[in-house]
Chain A
Amino acid sequence: MAAGWQSLVNILGPDVARIVVGLVGILALVQVNALFLVWLERKVAAHIQLRIGPKEVGPFGILQTIVDGVKLVSKELITPRHVDRKLFVLAPIAIFLPVLVSFVVIPFSEQLQIRDLNVGLLVIFAFSTFNVLAILMGGWASNNKYSLLGAIRSVAQNVAYEIPLLLTILNVLLWSNSLQMSVIVESQAKVWNVFWMPVAAIVYLICATAETNRAPFDIPEAESELVAGFHTEYSGMRFALFFLAEYSNMLIVAAVATTLFFGGWKSPPFLGFLPVPGLIWFLAKTYVLIFVVMWVRWTFPRLRFDQLMNFCWKIMIPAALLHLIVYAGIIKLIR
């Protein structure tokens, strides 16, 4: 493997080689993650609902997602007649690509980070706002009132919930003094941020669930009201891309939460003696958070749209602002 890497570097040059390997790695991670998460979601849902879930294909049904993927790829890409063709085709691509970019700055462990940009966190949030645009494109281009309603709701919801999201992140930034992801992880060397700013962590998780359109904030794709919301008219691989983007978004959001609040790849306070690599700790924490998000989805019903917006504007934002002011004072005192 070292010889293969050496020849690649000789051909392309060290920087480009690194980017290529990184991109291949991200794509691999995204696909395998989606595979795993879809299976996990179905199993979690099933066990909460007194069922078993997939069990035929492969041991414990692990290969179910692959088989479903094959099915989706083999389906006909139906483009309804009166849609806005360019936007219709562009929307699934636009929703999937920015997610891939966000993976570049996530610190999977001390050495495993594709680019440690000094504006790492900003990159993630900048690219995650693209998904609003893509949803609006998909909903508008579908020429379908249900899709449009779903897209409109999604835009309002995402834009509103970004504000408390960013406010809670400011707390972490005040402590770490930098947007660089590895520095943020280092700043939690003594104690994880979640232990001394728990409210920020909770607010972040709620807003992140809203950003990724997961229940109880899944109004844009509310199956029982709008059939399938903004992706009603999509079939086959295009629909699969929307799905992939949703699960990848979940992973990003959980990874960012792990980095910001749960100490990234650092081992928990009293278990540092275990010879477990940082990568394993990182993945374990991320997937526990994802499990919690799934658990919430299958337990709670859905909020009505105006109740959701009220919840954001009247409860989340004041809470986040208050928290920021209080913690700014505390941090000033500590320093």
Chain B
Amino acid sequence: MTTEMLEPITEQTYYLNMGPQHPSTHGVLRLFLKLDGEYIIEADPIIGYGHRGHEKMAESHFYEQFLPNSSRMDYLSGLLFNHGYVAAVEKMAGIEVPPRAEYIRVISAELNRISSHLLWFGTYVMDLGGFTPFLYSFDDRENILDILDRISGSRLTYSYCRMGGVAKDIDEEFIRATRSFIQRLRSRWDDYHNLVTKNVIFIHRAKDVGVINRELALRFGCTGPILRAAGVAYDIRRAEPYSVYPELDFEIPTGTQGDALDRYMVRLQEMEQSLRIIEQALDRLPEGPIKAAVPHKVRPPKGDYYFAVESARGALGFYIVSDGTPYPYRLRARVPSFGNLQVLTDVLPGTLVADTISILGSIDIVVPEVDR
């Protein structure tokens, strides 16, 4: 059921503030809405409640010291941010990473992507009122967190990658646990589809809601599952291949319409593709060192560098200006949720307040990465 833009009959519009403390805004986001009854006339997302000054911090710490900061920006894809940052510095400094380390990075990054999508899945359906899938997906997510805890020591904000490799090697137990997790998650897809995807109420809440087409995505710089749901098969892992992704075989799921249901289906299929990647990487895992020999403080040559990876939410870019010292001159993190959140100013007007929750949930933003 679509809702079209209504002309307000009266001038009696009112302002409603959703957030910064609100059960569904997933972080400290404030949505300043101008409403007419239940219809939204204007929407203004106000951010900055979580601004911690990571980019300023980067300028007075040397490259290795900034590594923990990178996973705190988007705490749900900590390993993906780690990987992006470390690979950016390595490319600049010309450091070669041993193949075993590359494979380990890919395996752990894809596990992180799955855990981020599982969390999104649970919280999205919970926002819509179905409280149960949240607990099922977190039950699965616990497995991933335990697996990654064994090798990195933390459950959420990892600092696992190092300049030139990774911090600790994986062992047989890790491989066994990952393989059994893959089996277990594959057997859950049916449960999730029966419980949520085929549920007529869920389809009513998600179909034709919050349509973001290619044109809108291009104007706002949206990337990630939003863009792929609009039909554009743009994934950094294929468009600008890095690490060992060129050797692995996986598909890029796309949608057709760009509504919330398409975004939902794209993310579910992405999880399955991530499982494929992990399986192939485990099969091809070579022996060897896990860390190249790098100087104690990395000194990238002078100049600037832009490096992009595909995080769980879209295209993450690190732009580093280096002056030849161990301290970055300027570090900029181009985060996917910045553009993804901004599209709300165009998508929300004309919809109902209840749709706001559905649209916000289906876009999947993490506010700390917007605020940095």
Contact = CB atoms under 8 A, between A and B. Distances in A.
B126 interface: yes
A306 B139 CA distance: 34
B210 to A, nearest CB: 12
B14 interface: yes
Q: Is the interface of B mostly helix, strand, loop or mixed?
A: helix
A254 B3 CA distance: 36
Interface of B: 1, 3, 14, 16, 22-24, 38, 125-132, 134-136, 139, 195-196, 199, 201-202, 204-205, 352-355, 357-358
Interface stretch (A16-24, A73-81, A109-117, A223-231): A223-231
A45 B22 CA distance: 23
A256 interface: no
B307 to A, nearest CB: 37
16 contacts: A48-B132, A49-B131, A49-B134, A50-B136, A51-B135, A146-B16, A149-B38, A149-B353, A216-B201, A225-B127, A300-B129, A301-B201, A301-B202, A302-B205, A303-B201, A304-B355
B132 A215 contact: no
A305 B354 CA distance: 7
Given A50-B139, A223-B23, A218 B129 contact: yes
A225 B201 contact: no
A307 interface: yes
Contacts of B127: 224-225
The 3 closest A-B pairs by CB, nearest first: A302-B129, A301-B130, A301-B128
A301 B125 contact: yes
A58 B23 CA distance: 32
A216 B196 CA distance: 14
B353 A225 contact: yes
B236 to A, nearest CB: 32
Interface residues of A, number: 28
A304 B354 contact: yes
Nearest to B200: A300
A218 B130 CA distance: 11
B135 A300 contact: no
A299 interface: yes
A224 B126 contact: yes
Interface centre among B22, B130, B199 (most CB of A within 10 A): B130
Interface in A207-254: 215-216, 218-219, 222-225, 227
B14 A145 contact: yes
B24 A224 contact: yes
A291 interface: no
A29 B328 CA distance: 71
B23 A224 contact: yes
Interface of A: 45, 48-51, 145-146, 149, 215-216, 218-219, 222-225, 227, 298-307, 310
A63 B109 CA distance: 46
Contacts of B22: 227
Contacts of A51: 135
Given A216-B201, A310-B1, A222 B139 contact: no
B195 to A, nearest CB: 8
B131 A298 contact: yes
B354 A225 contact: yes
Contacts of B134: 49
Given A149-B38, A224-B126, A224-B128, A301 B199 contact: yes
Contact of B354 (A219, A227, A299): A219
Given A300-B199, A306-B3, A224 B357 contact: yes
Contacts of B131: 45, 49, 298
Contacts of A224: 23-24, 126-129, 357
A298 B353 CA distance: 23
Nearest to B128: A301
Given A145-B16, A224-B127, 14 more contacts: A45-B131, A49-B134, A149-B38, A222-B354, A224-B126, A225-B24, A225-B357, A299-B132, A301-B202, A303-B204, A303-B205, A304-B204, A304-B355, A306-B1
A310 B2 CA distance: 13
A216 to B, nearest CB: 6
Contacts of A306: 1, 3, 352
Contacts of B139: 50
B24 to A, nearest CB: 5
A203 B195 CA distance: 23
A218 B354 CA distance: 12
A324 to B, nearest CB: 26
B292 to A, nearest CB: 44
Contacts of A298: 131-132
Contacts of B126: 224
B23 A227 contact: yes
B352 A304 contact: yes
Contacts of A307: 1, 204-205
